[in-house]
Amino acid sequence: ETGVTQSPTHLIKTRGQQVTLRCSSQSGHNTVSWYQQALGQGPQFIFQYYREEENGRGNFPPRFSGLQFPNYSSELNVNALELDDSALYLCASSRGGLVVSDDQNTEAFFGQGTRLTVV
């Protein structure tokens, strides 16, 4: 079991509404990434936060936005929800800012996800 927790676990929203998803990162991790996993697909990178700054963004529109707080927890906000936003949203925490040596493993630990349904 990882130390990454997400809330809520399930959510139903109406098209056009706004939603906020939350993630607490694993102790010692300063980087949080958000992913969207549609049914039958692999997770797709939305964006990443490192030390409270956005540090990379995937191919998602600006209505997907985020925040990272001083304790490294994070929020994902989605405005003007569309039916296609229905998906599992995953948060991952990792130790960013490090170049991995030959003998180190580095991992991104995922939370259990938030299942968002837009109707």
4 near another protein (CB under 8 A): yes
Comparing C-alpha atoms, which of 18, 37, 48 is closest to residue 90? Answer: 37
Angle (CA) 51-28-3 rounded to 5° is 110
**The dihedral sign for the CA sequence 95, 30, 53, 46:** positive
109 near another protein (CB under 8 A): yes
Among positions 25-64, residues that touch another protein (CB under 8 A) are 31, 33, 35, 40-45, 48, 56, 58
Q: Which tokens sit at 62?
A: 């600006």
107 near another protein (CB under 8 A): yes
Binding test (CB under 8 A) with another protein, winner from 26, 85, 110, 116? 110
Q: How many residues bind another protein (CB under 8 A)?
A: 33
- Shortest Cβ 15–another protein spacing (Å): 25
- Shortest Cβ 16–another protein spacing (Å): 28
CA dihedral 101, 103, 50, 63 (to 10 degrees): 110
